[in-house]
Amino acid sequence: MKLHVQNRQRAVRFDVKWLRRFAPLAFEKCREISDDGRFALRRIAELNVVIVSDRRIARLHEDFMDITGATDVITFDHGEIVMSAETARCQAAEYDQLIEEELALYTVHGLLHLNGFEDSAPKAAARMRQIQSRVLQECLAQLPAR
């Protein structure tokens, strides 16, 4: 499986090398947890994690989901996770954490979506948040952001 992490924005600085080390750890943990029993991550040949601007993710959000405005992360079934650096920066400041940790959270969130988790209903969203929190903490224990 090929995993690529690409920074396609210039407005927000973060440690992309750290995120490139984090993503494979998260992938290995998430590929073993499937909510629909299909384990789609086991069949994906190539995974792209792409960090973009709010403007770019807002365009994708509208084009593919018919929702106006920026969002934190969008996951595409073919194996692409698109994340907003600007939204991550704002959320990291709000929750008093590093931007790398926020992007790591988005990575886990996207991986879980690819492996069958949904967050559109409150009960499913609560279950997904619980699992993503556990996976994130396990990965951060292996690769601290600082």
Structural domains in the chain? Answer: 2-142 (3.40.390.30)
Q: Give residue 144's pLDDT.
A: 82
Residue 26 CB neighbour total at 10 angstroms: 28
For residue 96, give the 3-state DSSP assignment: coil
- Give the Cα separation of 3 and 17 in Å (integer): 13
Q: Which two tokens stand for residue 15?
A: 């440690």
Q: Which two tokens stand for residue 92?
A: 């990291």
Q: Which two tokens stand for residue 66?
A: 């018919």
Residues of the chain predicted below pLDDT 70: 146
Q: Which two tokens stand for residue 38?
A: 């299909």
**Helix or strand holding residue 78 (H, E):** none
Q: Give residue 5's pLDDT.
A: 98
For residue 83, give the 3-state DSSP assignment: strand
Q: Give residue 109's pLDDT.
A: 98
Strand partners, 76: 80
